[in-house]
Amino acid sequence: MNEHERVIAHEVGPAAVVAGAGSGKTRAATLRAARLARTGERVGLVTFTASAAEEMRQRVLAEDVPAKHVWAGTFHSLAFQILRQFPEAGGYEGFPEVLTPNDELRLFRRLWAELLDQDLDAELRRKLVKALGFFRKARAEEALEGWAARAGESLELDAEMLEALMISFQLRKREAGLASFDDLIEGASRALGDKDVRKWADRRFPFLIVDEYQDTSRAQETFLAALMPGEAPNLMVIGDPNQAIYGWRGAGSRTFERFQARYPQAVLYPLRKNYRSTRAVLRLAERAIARLYRSGQEAYYRLEGVKEEGEPPVLLTPPNAAAEATDVAREVARAVASGVPPEEIAVLARSSMQLAGVEDRLARLGVATRLLGGIRLSERREVKTLVQLLKAAWSLHERALVDFIEEAVPGLGERTLTRVEHAARPYNLVDRIMNDGAFVRGFSTRVQQGLFMTRTLLQLARATFEGVTGEAFAERFREFAQDLYGELLPGYLARIGKQGPNEEARRRHLERFVATVEAFAREEAEGGLDDLLARLAFLEQQDGPAVTLGTVHAVKGLEFEVVFVVGMVEGAFPILADDSDPEEERRLFYVAATRAKRRLYLSAPTYGPRGKILQPSRYLEEALDEGLVRLQKVRPAA
């Protein structure tokens, strides 16, 4: 049997599949699941994104197996399922409302504002974001002891206050029936100690296959051990330690070592053949990752390429970031013109901010794009603020209103807003601000000014869109957006533009969003604001072929004929911050390079802001020293 067939044929007991990039590991996992399901066994498939889970499920079902025998989902959706059925076993009186990470952060900041009895300035807000990150990472690593001392020392915050705040924060969430994603994992692990939950899990998941296991945190490992107890569970884990790139959320490159220590009898299946990339691309990736290993450990990173030699990766050296965006966009356009399908082209970066220039240049060239791992158009601050106001005015959505006020109305911070919210109860906050002048006048002059301003905007939004549909709705929408950021909130775009992207770029984002709304209005002749808000999440989906723009984290698991990696300079890729992990940065480059099937371009600008000379990424220096890349001067536009 070949290496895939051995994985597929594995019968019972624990197993670890250590699979290199492009080795077909997901195919092997789904074929094994299909084989088990055809014999009548129930199989669970666990991974890290809903889209990946659904793809795995569809692959299994395509092998003509009964759907009732296959479950696929994420760690969090599995924990959600357990707590939905057995909330008391997880420590909840009823099933909790799930908080998004942003919702959790907002609640955390408000509790701090209450503790200090003052609104938070920008610097303290920034520190609290990092403090919550410290706690989340420590919790995922199951290393909570001393987390507050570490966070306090790093952020110059009082450690005892941090510790007390977090205890109060956890209690408040529990009392309010709220749960973060991390709370779901912890609660489900606790629930699995209950005998009724144990019986349910044993019936539901006699076999479990976990994909992308290198991204598993210690807390998730504990959850898996609770779900599949014993010394020899029918648990197969699949992944690539060289693609462990989520250290900031508690994952690491040694998950497979811990798996083998927990299950000494586990069978190890290596998958080393790469079916994706040319040999020239593989050599570059191998040499980059090899520096993490000692002599004699080649089996951990060596890939056996089955494709042709191919062209060597190309190094581009534009003079600066603006020229890089222009040059890469032109090269992308040339590739499309030469016959490469747009969906087979990707532009990758270490940070989503590095993609803004390329996105803008491609839009000017008429090349459609889709953004992965960056900020969606509807999530950009200038667009989101507009949407929050409309949602609050039209649907009386309290959380949307609070978010809008925090973002756009001066003088109303977390502490003040908490007082306003409490005073409005038990009535709807939006309704009271819009329609109850006495309620607004019950606050100080400064607060009244902010609330009356909010009231004016809410009433204007209601009046503007009441009973308006189709083309008339589109016209009103454009006028409202222009007025909001012109006369009604003067200076807002300039203020947030100082934090990047600049005001001009933010106005372009707004124009694109308005154009999207206009397209919606053309398709929905009877559609108005209510319909727009209901369909907003679907309007940005790219139906036609599009070039992918994404962070390296976002494209892991994907592959493209042509890949561009921009911003390849020291400090940007790799990031050189005090809390960055040099080994993880190197694994990120390995992931970026191995997305390319045929052609790989690496771009390193020569100069930064104010003419500062930039140092090419160490990965490029190493590749140049070993002759693994070819330097190319970008041709001028035709």
What's the chain's average pLDDT?
90
- Which range among 303-307, 336-340, 373-377 shows the weakest confidence by mean pLDDT? 373-377
Taking Cα atoms as reference points, which of 378, 372, 529 lies closest to residue 466? 529
- Rounded CA gap, 602 and 317, in Å? 9
Q: Do the Cβ atoms of 235 and 9 come closer than 8 Å?
A: no
Residue 26 marked as a ligand binder = yes
Residue 368 marked as a ligand binder = no
CA distances, 90 to each of 96, 97, 181, 201, 251 (Å): 10, 14, 14, 14, 24
Position 273 pLDDT exceeds 90: yes
Per CATH, the number for 378-540 is: 1.10.486
| pLDDT at res. 105 | 86
Q: DSSP assignment, residue 452?
A: H
Looking up tokens 């991390």, which residue turns up? Answer: 182
Task: Write the pLDDT tens digit of every residue in 231-270.
Answer: 999 999 999 999 998 887 777 778 999 999 999 999 999 9
Position 637 pLDDT exceeds 50: no
Taking Cα atoms as reference points, which of 323, 324, 325, 344 lies closest to residue 335? 344
| pLDDT at res. 283 | 95
Q: Answer whether 3-83+186-271 and 314-368+545-632 agree in fold.
A: yes
Q: How large is the average pLDDT for residues 475-495?
A: 92
| Domain ranges, ordered by start, for the chain | 3-83+186-271, 98-176, 314-368+545-632, 378-540
CA distances, 190 to each of 57, 129, 193, 350 (Å): 27, 28, 6, 37
pLDDT band (50, 70, 90) for residue 444: very high
CA distances, 246 to each of 52, 479, 490, 554 (Å): 17, 44, 40, 11
| pLDDT at res. 542 | 52
- Residue 192: phi and psi, rounded to 5, are -70, -5
Task: Write the pLDDT tens digit of every residue in 173-195.
Answer: 888 888 999 999 999 999 999 99
pLDDT band (50, 70, 90) for residue 523: confident
* Partners of 550 in the β-ladder: 348, 372
Position 369 pLDDT exceeds 90: no
Q: How large is the average pLDDT for residues 558-564?
A: 96
Position 297 pLDDT exceeds 90: no
Residue 273 marked as a ligand binder = no
pLDDT band (50, 70, 90) for residue 638: very low
- Rounded CA gap, 74 and 101, in Å? 16
Residue 19 marked as a ligand binder = yes
Q: Which residues contact residue 330 at a Cβ distance below 8 angstroms, ignoring those fewer than 6 apart? A: 361, 365, 634, 637
- Which range among 90-104, 308-322, 428-442 shows the weakest confidence by mean pLDDT? 90-104
Taking Cα atoms as reference points, which of 558, 567, 568, 635 lies closest to residue 345? 558
| pLDDT at res. 226 | 96
Taking Cα atoms as reference points, which of 603, 3, 588 lies closest to residue 269? 3
Q: How many CB atoms lie within 10 A of CB 395?
A: 15
Position 378 pLDDT exceeds 90: no
The DSSP code sequence of 65-116 is --GGGEEEEEHHHHHHHHHHH-TGGGT-SSPPEEPPHHHHHHHHHHHHHHHH
Beta 273-274 vs 267-271: how paired, if at all?
unpaired
Residue 351 marked as a ligand binder = no
Q: How large is the average pLDDT for residues 418-428?
A: 90
The architecture that CATH gives domain 3-83+186-271 is 3-Layer(aba) Sandwich (3.40)
Task: Write the pLDDT tens digit of every residue in 85-136.
Answer: 999 999 888 888 888 787 788 888 888 888 777 777 778 888 988 999 999 9
Q: Which residues contact residue 118 at a Cβ distance below 8 angstroms, ignoring those fewer than 6 apart? A: 415
Higher pLDDT, 314 or 577: 314
Q: Do the Cβ atoms of 335 and 556 come closer than 8 Å?
A: no
| pLDDT at res. 512 | 84
Q: Helix, strand or coil for residue 182? A: helix
Residue 164 marked as a ligand binder = no
Looking up tokens 């590739």, which residue turns up? Answer: 335
Q: DSSP assignment, residue 635?
A: P
CATH classification number, 314-368+545-632, choose in 3.40.50.300, 3.30.450.20, 1.10.3720.10, 2.60.40.10: 3.40.50.300
Residue 546 marked as a ligand binder = no
End-to-end CA distance of the chain: 53
Q: How large is the average pLDDT for residues 329-356?
A: 93
Number of residues that this document lists for the chain = 638
Position 496 pLDDT exceeds 70: yes
Higher pLDDT, 409 or 536: 409
Residue 550 marked as a ligand binder = no
